[in-house]
Amino acid sequence: DNKGNHLLVHEESSINVPAIAAAHVIKRYIAQAADELSFEVGDIVSVIDMPPKELTSWWRGKHGFQVGTSTATAV
């Protein structure tokens, strides 16, 4: 819900990528880089890319209208 405000999103934007899973945040995380997401305990993150654990512990996800990476240990 954008509360009546216009949301301008480019077609190629990751915000339009469908989620493959949802994750419930169990540990607060403050972004350490520009491409990371911050979230609080209880938030729901829409997961859009979940590489195998042996390759990386980082997932790509959406939280609100933000898209970025997050560590799988917090969600």
pLDDT of amino acid 42? 93
pLDDT of amino acid 53? 80
Two tokens at 2?
């954008």
**Domain-wise residue ranges, the chain:** 11-71
Question: Under CATH, what is the fold of the domain 11-71?
Answer: SH3 type barrels. (2.30.30)
Tokens 């990386």, residue located: 56
Q: Rounded distance, CA 62 to CA 69, Å?
A: 8
pLDDT of amino acid 43? 93
Against a cut of 0.85, is the pTM above it? no
Three-state SS for the chain is CCCCCCCCCCCCCHHHCCCCEEEECCCCECCCCCCECCECCCCEEEEEECCCCCCCCEEEEEECCEEEEEECCCC
Per-residue pLDDT of the chain (75 residues; tens, 9 = 90+): 456 555 555 445 566 777 888 889 999 999 999 889 998 999 998 888 888 888 878 888 888 888 888 776 655
